[in-house]
């Protein structure tokens, strides 16, 4: 194993103090949130205006429930992705930065899970509306599996 890999595995760089490591990791986490949040915000904005579209009345009851699940999961994703910034601001200089980092990491991972669910539901709903139930299920489930693998399966498979 190369020295870089060992350093990356335990999260510390050579000569980096615990405080420096935690500061760096917190900056990295907040940058990750900055990447994920705009996509969730755009999806949420789209879902907020959908009911005001004239064709929304054409949705079946089942399609409305899928829409509602997508809307709620997007709202939860946005809340969880924003939470680390709020946590950071409210706990600033309170001496628990490492705990803040661990909690914020869990919030971000959970927010990404809800974002993946939202994307899969939105793709499934639109595909079902345009092409019918079969293609809608295939598209929604296909996107869900794709996101689960690339956002969770692949990174977790590298742990061993």
| Cβ-based burial of 41 (10 A; exposed 0-12, middle 13-18, buried ≥19) | middle
> What are 126-142's pLDDT values in tens digits?
999 999 999 999 999 99
Find the helix or strand (DSSP H, E) in which 155 lies: helix 154-157
For residue 11, the model assigns a pLDDT of 60
Q: What pTM does this model have?
A: 0.81
> What are 2-57's pLDDT values in tens digits?
444 444 445 666 777 888 888 888 888 888 888 888 899 999 998 999 888 888 89
Q: What is the dihedral of CA 37, 139, 127, 81, to 10 degrees?
A: -10
pLDDT at 151 over 60: yes
């Amino acid at each position: 194993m190369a020295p870089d890999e060992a350093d990356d595995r335990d999260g510390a760089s050579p000569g980096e103090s615990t405080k420096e490591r935690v500061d760096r990791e917190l900056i990295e986490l907040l940058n990750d949130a900055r990447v994920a949040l705009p996509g969730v915000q755009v999806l949420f904005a789209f879902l907020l205006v959908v009911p005001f579209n004239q064709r929304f009345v054409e949705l079946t009851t089942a399609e409305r429930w899928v829409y509602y699940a997508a809307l709620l999961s997007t709202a939860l994703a946005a809340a969880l992705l924003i939470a680390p910034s709020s946590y950071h601001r409210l706990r600033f200089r309170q001496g628990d930065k490492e705990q803040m980092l661990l909690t914020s990491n869990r919030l971000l991972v959970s927010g990404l899970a809800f974002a993946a669910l939202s994307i899969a539901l939105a793709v499934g709903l639109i595909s079902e509306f345009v092409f019918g139930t079969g293609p809608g299920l295939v598209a929604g489930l296909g996107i869900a599996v794709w996101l689960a693998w690339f956002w969770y399966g692949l990174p977790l498979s590298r742990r061993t």
